[in-house]
């Protein structure tokens, strides 16, 4: 047996079960990194060893050294932050892992002479993998056999041109089949293949590209700049008052610094994202990049592919229109030969196969031109003549071709506006296309298509034989989903490779109105950017044009989402801000997409938008609360330094204030539905609210403290405690009003969220047992009335500052309107 014969036999039989087991035992198995991204210890480490935990940990040890256990209660935040963060991340990791298994590519492997789907982890060295159009290459290898095989390696090289592959050529994971079929032998598995790095990047719990997280990081930088100098000056100033009483000094310092740390902000942010993943996971929505949740909430343009996204991927044969006078049965038998000669049928060919059963004897195929998204047509050359009658059917108008025998028949099948560019048979196919039906033109030619397997092949002269009409079903949830986006101010653009008239008909059925479709074949390259900005519906869009359209919209300042399910959508999906693929789409589309709708329900997208808005809107509320606490704490410490008085609060005071006015309410406010549309300027808006709110709260507490101290010529330890209690009351009252502001619009549960902490505070301030535990003394009625007045004064100041801010913002908007011509 020759070497080539041996390779053919090996490609047909693959490895035996015994050989697979031997290779797996020898460690030649495709071991992939964890789908959830982080390992167990990595999750624990990233949640325990954080900057905030480190700061709180140092302050906790300082307080513990004084022996005041009650003042060290804030140390519980370290445990709470770590446990909640880790638990939610474990839950999100488990959800991602389970969804990734559902959506993972399962290559077809030849073993014991049979083709069977195989999990990627079960592949071994020397396995034979079958390649079909749209298949993702998951491990590196060498081509054994190729039938007009063309690969798209754009994910590896960035080049969109298809690469023809022949037996002996190398094939790399991360590429996918653009056209044709073939088989290849696995040469690299696990960490040695490119796919390992691709898998490690997918389904990872990461906030690296999150605008929200970037805003929070910038806020934390500001806090760090404030924390260090204020902390240093606090130490210097308090040391002057407390002298050798190092325990009181430590408590004063920690009482000033602990509330400056936004201990729950990062925790609640990561928790909100993790809960978003879990909620969407229940709807069979795989979020492969976490920022996609918030990204879709920021989108202002959705580019939707028609086939497989707005319409169902399944097709059904509807009608055949014969061109000319020839027997229908004879034509049906020829169509059957044509569709059953395709080794890798797509959805269109599969629908035709259901209508035209497999012939008892298949004709021998001499050559083939495989279908690709650029040319929109395919062809098959049958090598045997079907009698003299058939040879006479070749049109006499076709030019003679030197060296081509009449002992072959060439059939072409493709888009009618491509094969019938002159419009000779328009009356046969245009009415059906105008109704949104899928239309194909069957033609016959005297030309030979041998080796015509690459995109850009010249179209041979042909004689039209018949028009084949197929029905494509519009997804029942497509119209409602598009309507949702329109109501939210998101523009819809339908971008399809199908006939422009057909695309426009589908758009009309989806409620997009009587909008004309743009045929992109008629556009000059420099016209595309302007047309995509001005129009909504596009037909005959080539894959590279889809990518150009997405880039043009992004260049114009839009945030673009792209939906698709086919190989022809991959380039655009890769470049879109948010890419969405259907679960039953090609594996290549699922790999590059940031969001995969595993149950193929287009109606899931509004839930993704809602989840993004929940995260963005609620985290903005939460950030306002935490930043207000940081501002009033830093400002209060600064005022105390300049006033030259002891710091009024101990760590336990700021702990109970932080927990019941900020922490617990913030955690609850991060959970409910929030339909507020995402807007840019997160950091600016948070600081614009937090600074005046912090000024109001700090002023209420500080001036209450100074006021009650002024009532006494000498401050005993008991009077100092009473003054601190009054100042704390003023702080709590004004800080609660900040919560009232942030919680708007009010609902019953929000009212309870505000009232319950106030009830808790009233118990703490009036019960002698709790007063003793928390170092409070509310027996001085004069001081407490000052605290009440100070709190009300803080509320008035807060409302005044908010009113000034609104007037200022309104004036700025009016100035901007006037400046716009």
Percent of residues, the chain, with pLDDT higher than 70: 87
Residue recorded with tokens 């969804």: 99
In this predicted structure, the answer to whether residue 183 has a pLDDT above a threshold of 50 is yes
User: Residue 821: which pLDDT band, with cuts at 50, 70 and 90?
Assistant: very low
In this predicted structure, the answer to whether residue 387 has a pLDDT above a threshold of 70 is no
In this predicted structure, the answer to whether residue 338 has a pLDDT above a threshold of 50 is yes
Whether 140 sits among the annotated catalytic residues: the reply is no
- Output the average pLDDT for the chain: 81
CATH of 223-277+615-813 given 3.40.1180.10, 1.25.40.10, 1.20.1110.10, 3.60.15.10: 1.20.1110.10
- What are 112-122's pLDDT values in tens digits? 989 998 888 88
User: Residue 20: which pLDDT band, with cuts at 50, 70 and 90?
Assistant: very high
More confident residue, 112 or 208: 112
Q: What is the pLDDT at residue 673? A: 78
In this predicted structure, the answer to whether residue 716 has a pLDDT above a threshold of 50 is yes
d(CA 74, CA 57): 10
Instruction: Indicate the SS3 state at residue 392.
Output: coil
Tell which residue, 136, 111, 126, 117, has the closest CA to residue 184. Answer: 126
Q: Any idea which architecture 284-310+476-600 has in CATH?
A: 3-Layer(aba) Sandwich (3.40)
Specify the fold of 311-474: Calcium-transporting ATPase, cytoplasmic domain N (3.40.1110)
- Given the residues 305, 375, 448, 575, select the one marked as catalytic: 305
- What are 603-612's pLDDT values in tens digits? 888 888 888 8
d(CA 155, CA 178): 13
More confident residue, 16 or 225: 16
Poorest-confidence range of 349-358, 512-521, 731-740?
512-521
d(CA 721, CA 736): 22
Percent of residues, the chain, with pLDDT higher than 90: 19
Contacts of 652 (CB under 8 A, 6+ apart): 70, 71, 73, 774, 775
Q: Are 280 and 272 in contact (CB under 8 A)?
A: no
In this predicted structure, the answer to whether residue 388 has a pLDDT above a threshold of 60 is no
User: Residue 815: which pLDDT band, with cuts at 50, 70 and 90?
Assistant: low
Alpha carbon separation from 284 to 96, 602, 736 (Å, rounded): 10, 11, 40
In this predicted structure, the answer to whether residue 398 has a pLDDT above a threshold of 50 is no
Tell which residue, 491, 644, 596, 484, has the closest CA to residue 553. Answer: 491
d(CA 812, CA 804): 12
pTM over 0.85: no
Mean pLDDT across 204-227: 70
In this predicted structure, the answer to whether residue 286 has a pLDDT above a threshold of 70 is yes
Radius of gyration (C-alpha) of the chain in whole angstroms: 35
- What are 641-651's pLDDT values in tens digits? 888 888 888 87
Q: What is the DSSP code (8-state) at residue 660? A: I
d(CA 132, CA 180): 7
For the domain covering 3-30+104-201, report its CATH number. Answer: 2.70.150.10
Q: What is the pLDDT at residue 560? A: 93
Q: Are 588 and 152 in contact (CB under 8 A)?
A: yes
Do the bridges between strand 128-131 and strand 114-117 make them parallel or antiparallel, or are there none, so unpaired? Answer: unpaired
Q: Are 493 and 303 in contact (CB under 8 A)?
A: yes
- What are 52-78's pLDDT values in tens digits? 777 778 878 887 887 777 777 667 767
Mean pLDDT across 494-506: 85
In this predicted structure, the answer to whether residue 158 has a pLDDT above a threshold of 80 is no
In this predicted structure, the answer to whether residue 199 has a pLDDT above a threshold of 60 is no
Does 284-310+476-600 match 3-30+104-201 at the fold level?
Answer: no
Q: How far apart are the first and last CA of the chain?
A: 82
d(CA 246, CA 238): 10
Mean pLDDT across 688-694: 91
In this predicted structure, the answer to whether residue 557 has a pLDDT above a threshold of 50 is yes
Give one DSSP letter per residue of 720-737, joined into a string: HHHHHHHHHHHHHHHHHH
Give a three-class secondary structure readout of 245-256.
CHHHHHHHHHHH
Poorest-confidence range of 225-229, 552-556, 596-600, 736-740?
225-229
Q: What is the pLDDT at residue 791? A: 93
Q: Where are the domains of the chain?
A: 3-30+104-201, 223-277+615-813, 284-310+476-600, 311-474
């Amino acid at each position: 047996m020759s070497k080539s014969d041996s390779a053919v036999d090996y490609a047909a039989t693959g490895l035996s079960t015994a050989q697979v087991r031997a290779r797996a035992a020898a460690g030649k198995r495709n071991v992939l990194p964890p789908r959830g991204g982080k390992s167990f210890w990595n999750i624990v480490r990233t949640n325990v060893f954080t900057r905030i935990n480190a700061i709180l940990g140092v302050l906790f040890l300082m307080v513990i050294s004084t022996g005041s256990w009650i003042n060290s209660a804030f140390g519980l935040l370290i445990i709470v932050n770590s446990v909640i963060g880790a638990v939610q991340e474990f839950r999100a990791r488990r959800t991602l892992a389970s969804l990734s298994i559902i959506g993972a590519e399962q290559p077809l492997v030849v073993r014991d002479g049979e083709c069977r789907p195989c999990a990627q982890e079960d592949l071994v060295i020397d396995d034979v993998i079958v390649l079909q159009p749209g298949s993702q290459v998951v491990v590196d290898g060498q081509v054994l056999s190729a039938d007009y095989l063309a690969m798209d390696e754009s994910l590896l090289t960035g080049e969109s041109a298809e690469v023809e592959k022949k037996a002996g050529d190398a094939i790399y994971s991360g590429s996918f089949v653009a056209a044709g079929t073939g088989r290849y032998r696995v040469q690299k598995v696990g960490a040695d293949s490119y796919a390992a790095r691709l898998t490690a990047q997918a389904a990872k719990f990461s906030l690296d590209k999150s605008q929200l997280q970037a805003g929070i990081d910038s806020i934390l930088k500001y806090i760090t700049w404030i924390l260090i100098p204020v902390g240093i000056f606090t130490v210097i100033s308090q040391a002057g008052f407390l002298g050798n009483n190092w325990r009181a000094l430590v408590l004063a310092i920690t009482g000033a610094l602990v509330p400056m740390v936004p201990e729950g902000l990062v925790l609640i942010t990561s928790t909100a994202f993790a809960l978003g993943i879990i909620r969407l996971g229940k709807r069979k929505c795989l979020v492969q990049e976490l920022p996609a949740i918030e990204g879709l909430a920021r989108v202002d343009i959705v580019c939707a592919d028609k086939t497989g996204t707005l319409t169902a991927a399944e097709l059904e044969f509807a009608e055949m229109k014969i061109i000319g006078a020839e027997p229908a049965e004879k034509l049906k038998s020829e169509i059957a030969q044509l569709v059953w000669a395709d080794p890798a049928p797509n959805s269109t060919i599969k629908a035709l196969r259901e209508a035209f059963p497999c012939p008892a004897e298949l004709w021998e195929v001499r050559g083939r031109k495989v279908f690709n998204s650029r040319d929109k047509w395919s062809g098959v050359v049958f090598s045997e003549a079907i009698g003299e009658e058939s040879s006479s059917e070749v049109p006499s108008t076709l030019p003679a071709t030197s060296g081509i025998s009449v002992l072959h028949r060439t059939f072409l099948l493709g888009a009618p506006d491509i094969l019938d560019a002159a419009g000779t048979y328009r009356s046969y196919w245009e009415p059906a296309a105008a109704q949104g039906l899928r239309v194909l033109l069957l033609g016959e030619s005297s030309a030979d298509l041998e080796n015509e397997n690459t995109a850009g092949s010249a179209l041979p002269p042909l004689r039209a034989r018949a028009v084949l009409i197929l029905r494509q079903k519009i997804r029942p949830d497509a119209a409602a989903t598009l309507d949702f986006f329109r109501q939210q101010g998101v523009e819809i653009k339908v971008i399809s490779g199908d006939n422009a008239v057909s695309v426009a008909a589908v758009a009309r059925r989806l409620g997009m109105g009587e909008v004309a479709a743009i045929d992109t074949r008629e556009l000059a390259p420099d016209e595309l950017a302007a047309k995509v900005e001005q129009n909504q519906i596009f037909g005959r869009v080539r894959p590279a044009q889809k990518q150009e359209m997405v880039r043009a919209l992004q260049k114009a300042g839009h945030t673009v989402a792209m939906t698709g399910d086919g190989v022809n959508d991959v380039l655009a999906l890769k470049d879109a801000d948010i890419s969405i693929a259907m679960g039953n789409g090609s594996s290549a589309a699922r790999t590059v997409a940031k969001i995969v709708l595993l149950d193929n329900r287009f109606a899931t997208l509004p839930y993704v938008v809602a989840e993004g808005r929940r995260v963005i809107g609620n985290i903005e509320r939460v950030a306002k609360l935490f930043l207000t606490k940081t501002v009033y704490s830093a400002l209060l410490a600064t005022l105390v330094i300049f006033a030259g008085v002891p710091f009024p609060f101990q760590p336990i005071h700021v702990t109970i204030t932080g927990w019941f006015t900020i922490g617990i309410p913030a955690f609850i406010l991060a959970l409910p539905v929030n339909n507020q549309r995402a807007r840019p300027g997160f950091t600016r808006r948070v600081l614009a609210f937090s600074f005046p709110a912090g000024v109001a709260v700090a002023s209420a507490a500080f001036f209450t403290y100074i006021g009650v101290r002024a009532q006494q010529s000498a401050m005993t330890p008991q009077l100092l405690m009473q003054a601190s209690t009054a100042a704390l009351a003023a702080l709590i009252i004004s800080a609660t009003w900040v919560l009232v502001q942030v919680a708007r619009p009010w609902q019953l549960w929000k009212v309870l969220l505000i009232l319950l902490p106030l009830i808790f505070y009233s118990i703490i301030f009036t019960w002698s047992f709790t007063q003793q535990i928390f170092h409070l003394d509310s027996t001085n009625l004069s001081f407490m009335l000052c605290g009440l007045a100070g709190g009300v004064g803080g509320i008035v100041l807060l409302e005044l500052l908010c009113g000034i801010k609104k007037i200022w913002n309104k004036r700025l908007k009016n100035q901007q309107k006037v400046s716009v011509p």
